[in-house]
Amino acid sequence: MATIAVPTPLPSPAADAESLRNAVQGWGTDEKALVEILGRRTAAQRAEIRRAYASLYKESLLTRLHGELSGHFQKAMVLLATEPAERDAKLAREALGRRGDDRDAWVLIEAACAATPDHLLAVRRAYRSLHGSSLEEDVAACPAFQEPLRKLLVSLVRSYRCAEGSVDMAVAKQEAAQLAEAIRRKKQPHGGEVVRIVSTRSKPQLAATFRCYKEQHGSDIEEDMKQYSSSQFARMLKIAVWCLTSPEKHFAEVIRYSILGLGTDEDALTRAIVSRADIDMKRIKQEYRVRFKTTVTDDVVGDTSGYYMDILLALVGKE
């Protein structure tokens, strides 16, 4: 459930493009107008505005935003104005150029698992168009990620899951037993069957498998991953399970841990809020309140400031 508060009546894309043009030229930038327009339009509406802006003014809106703004506000606005598949392709490229820690792996898992199969195909097309190589090839060649995590990430980013809702309960029970064998008895969550199941099955099929797992063993599969293995692979497998079946759990955690500690991880905070505002931010806010006994709004207000805070709050919406 999205949290974008679209105004009524909605201005035309050309009118919005003109308002944006007025906000970014002349003596100083009108950041408040940028927040009011881009923070209150859906992804489809922002795409129409980008096209209208390019047609009217013969320049890219993204280029203009990048040149006019700075800091965390700039990154948030540029990501917001970027087409979602292109945005995820760029974020994946950045993650592949870093150290390969948990938060870099999160970026790849989110693109592969937290959206629809068609979105992942669009991300792969955008990645090839932007960088001249395939996403799966670059993940496979990335020295920052070590085996067996690299094998899992490659399998996830190259997958194409069935989008239909049909479920085979016999398969669910069989694969729940295979997962338990690898995770609980052998304590080897990186086994080939685990990777195959998590990286190929449809989301409804996986949800049924994980329900069978809990019925058979009395605990959630992600709890057992944590109990029986402390490896980076097990942690990222848990994130993949969450993104595939309950993405609000993962993104609530991303927001919380981007704020906790000495200094804010603005990149993670921006990515989570910008990418999910059009999809399921309402569920994320509900999960956040239950798990952390506070609200996304309160934590954003307490840890950010200025127009950067304003755009995040516009996307988060009312609590």
Q: Domain containing 312 — which CATH number?
A: 1.10.220.10
Range of the domain at 100: 84-157
Q: Are 305 and 297 contacting, i.e. CB atoms less than 8 angstroms apart?
A: no
- Is residue 303 a known part of a binding site? yes
- 3 located within any domain: no
pLDDT at residue 192 in the model: 85
pLDDT at residue 225 in the model: 86
- Is residue 304 a known part of a binding site? yes
- 25 located within any domain: yes
- 75 located within any domain: no
pLDDT at residue 185 in the model: 84
Q: Are 127 and 93 contacting, i.e. CB atoms less than 8 angstroms apart?
A: yes
pTM of the full structure: 0.94
Question: Do 88 and 153 belong to one domain?
Answer: yes
pLDDT at residue 130 in the model: 97
- Is residue 248 a known part of a binding site? no
- The torsion region of residue 218 among left (phi > 0), alpha (psi -120 to 50) and beta comes to left
- 275 located within any domain: yes
Q: Are 193 and 209 contacting, i.e. CB atoms less than 8 angstroms apart?
A: no
- 164 located within any domain: no
- Is residue 259 a known part of a binding site? yes
Q: Which of 217, 245, 273 represents a domain boundary (last residue)?
A: 245
User: Does residue 191 sit in helix, strand or coil?
Assistant: coil
Single-letter code of the amino acid located at 15: A
- Is residue 26 a known part of a binding site? yes
Written as six digits, the tokens of 161 are 């899951």
Question: Do 241 and 271 belong to one domain?
Answer: no
- 205 located within any domain: yes
Question: Do 239 and 296 belong to one domain?
Answer: no
Instruction: Give residues with Cβ within 8 angstroms of 318, minimum separation 6.
Output: 5
* Per-residue burial over 48-57, b = 16 or more CB atoms within 10 Å of its CB, e = otherwise: bbbebbeeeb
**What's the rounded Cα separation, in Å, for the pair 123 and 87?**
8
**What's the rounded Cα separation, in Å, for the pair 212 and 251?**
25
Question: Do 240 and 179 belong to one domain?
Answer: yes
Question: Do 255 and 222 belong to one domain?
Answer: no
Q: Which of 157, 179, 213 represents a domain boundary (last residue)?
A: 157
- Mean pLDDT per block of 10 residues along the chain (319 residues) reads 89 98 89 97 97 97 96 98 97 93 95 95 97 96 93 95 88 96 86 92 96 94 85 92 96 95 89 97 97 97 96 94
Distances from the Cα of 14 to the Cαs of 50, 75, 102, 168, 316, in angstroms? 9, 24, 42, 49, 26
What is the number of domains present in the chain?
A: 4
Nearest CA among 51, 47, 29 for reference residue 38: 47
Please name the residue that has the structure tokens 């194409």: 160
Q: Which of 183, 210, 245 represents a domain boundary (last residue)?
A: 245
Distance of CA 201 to the CA centre of its chain: 20
- Is residue 16 a known part of a binding site? no
- Is residue 82 a known part of a binding site? no
Distances from the Cα of 18 to the Cαs of 175, 206, 241, in angstroms? 55, 47, 44
Question: Do 292 and 255 belong to one domain?
Answer: yes
Question: Do 116 and 175 belong to one domain?
Answer: no
Question: Do 121 and 141 belong to one domain?
Answer: yes
Instruction: Give residues with Cβ within 8 angstroms of 266, minimum separation 6.
Output: 72, 75, 258, 304, 308
- Is residue 132 a known part of a binding site? no
Distances from the Cα of 154 to the Cαs of 135, 141, 142, 158, 159, in angstroms? 9, 10, 10, 6, 9
Phi, psi of 277 (to 5 degrees): -60, -35
DSSP state of 182: I
Question: Do 173 and 239 belong to one domain?
Answer: yes
Question: Do 139 and 191 belong to one domain?
Answer: no
Question: Do 139 and 173 belong to one domain?
Answer: no
Question: Do 230 and 174 belong to one domain?
Answer: yes
pLDDT at residue 227 in the model: 85
